[in-house]
Structure 1
């Protein structure tokens, strides 16, 4: 092997070793509604940076309790803006690191066609035994669903039919399995290739407060290169394009 080729191979090897030395792992708590986009973003992020994402998906309320009890999360992608702000106030998150990564959209959805009409009149007409939504005490999408029903004046009548889910993922499972004929989920969960599977009504944003989904670097992620790199990546064009493709507003 000639000297110049040997030197080139050595430089490549050293570059790989340096990249591995700088690669790190970031533990992320992710709101359940953001599961699909985060899986795509995490894969792209790992390819681009070499850092590894270890993600847990669940309800924002439960993550808050876990973080306060010392869970080793370094970044939180919440389903609201209140939880990250509260953690910052309580010195459990890095001041100035909070930002809105997505604005969620609420959908009344059934896995079956022609069940949910385009104006949501099914809520007033009835004709179903069960309607599912995420626990409003733990999940912002559940709180938005309750507010929407109250604004429409149908909450009291529908309350006995509610099948409460722990989070938005479980609500989707209840509906897709037929345990509930319809229910409230995130648009991102039912949008595939730009089309909604089953039947759905896009709940007007005037019926519930905006679902501003904020991210924040947690205290355990302070000064960690992988945590800071992930937050930076989420703000970039490639991640934003993925987020938008799942029906979120930016």
Structure 2
């Protein structure tokens, strides 16, 4: 079998085994939404498109008490599905990698135990960007972005879970490394292929250290427990319910975090 044929087969297998990951993470990002958003307006129509996000305020102009708390945000009902999909991923690349890496590792072990999942950072060229109430200066500079790197037999692959915050296509969730870099890497970008090799040990997510750490420790645990519960199910048709089982586990965790 030629190298190109072997690579194509490996990519198909990876996409098949990991197809639950993007929708599972999207559900986590949606339920973790922390901003109470009133509107979004376009303030620059060039490249990247720049949007200003206006947080909802009370009649006195004060932010709502829940503003900024994980899992307690809301979006306007008239938001387009595309805009919702982009905005809930804003500044979520690190927690996306942290939350989903354990189940990604579990899933690819069924393909090849020698495959490795690491955390890679690089500078990317966004197609769109958000600024919240103009708090952060509007900038067109490239941004540092975190993704998961999967080392295959002869090719590495990039799993980009929060790609939509930059306007990258939904279909580009898993790409060969060389293709991803060609499409999205900035010129002279410094790529760190091994910045956080042991993701599970990266952040000391211990209950009581901070609200954010406690919340994301719970999310990581909920996703893993949903996957493990699914893995214990009998039968070949169980793959159809994997995303649903992870979603149920995440929903229960978010509800518990609001108590």
Q: Which is greater in Rg? A: 1
**What range is the shorter-chain TM-score in?**
under 0.3
For normalisation by structure 2, the TM-score amounts to 0.26
For normalisation by structure 1, the TM-score amounts to 0.26
